[in-house]
Amino acid sequence: MESTPPNWTDIASVVIGALTFLTIGVAAIQLIFHSRQMHREFESLYVSRYWELMDRRSESFAVDRVPTAADRPVMRAYLQLCEDEVDLRGLGRVTDSTWKFWALAIVDQCAADGYRDELRAASDDEYPNVRRLIETRGEGDPLDASWGWRMRHGL
């Protein structure tokens, strides 16, 4: 039995199919990287907000860690920033690597005298996510998503 050689249309069809598959793969990777870049830009806004707050602290608070009455609004704004960050993590807007750092930083900073006292002075219904994060010592991740979901969303 003789086999017939493949014709050029069969070869072209296989090549076009392979190129299409490759193109779709490259496009998917680009979308993941684009999503990750968008997350990084978004996270950068929160880092800027953090440093704006730290720059508003009184000298005694910034240097000696002794807050004044004028530092109370800064500490409250910091706690609200942290609450927002925890919320955003729960929505999948903060990357895994950034969250690991932020979670521990929030727990550490909220353990400092001024912030700890301000959190205690707040009503129980204020900053619930921050309180939950502190209770878990930064181990509780508000984002409950699979590895595949995180990967698809650039986290």
> What's CA 145's distance to the chain center, in Å?
13
pLDDT tier at 146, thresholds 50, 70, 90:
confident
Query: Residue 138 has what pLDDT?
Result: 80
Query: Residue 1 has what pLDDT?
Result: 58
The answer on pLDDT for 111 being more than 80 is yes
Range list of β-strands (E), the chain: none
Query: Residue 34 has what pLDDT?
Result: 66
Q: What is the C-alpha separation between 155 and 41, in angstroms, rounded?
A: 13
Handedness of CA 94, 95, 100, 105 (dihedral sign): negative
Q: Is 87 in contact with 96 (CB distance < 8 Å)?
A: no
Considering the chain, what is the average pLDDT of its residues?
A: 86
pTM: 0.74
Neighbours of 27 (CB within 10 A): 10
The answer on pLDDT for 2 being more than 70 is no
Q: Is 142 in contact with 89 (CB distance < 8 Å)?
A: yes
Conformation bin of residue 143: beta by default, left when phi > 0, alpha when psi is -120 to 50:
beta
State pLDDT tens for residues 75-91.
999 999 999 999 999 98
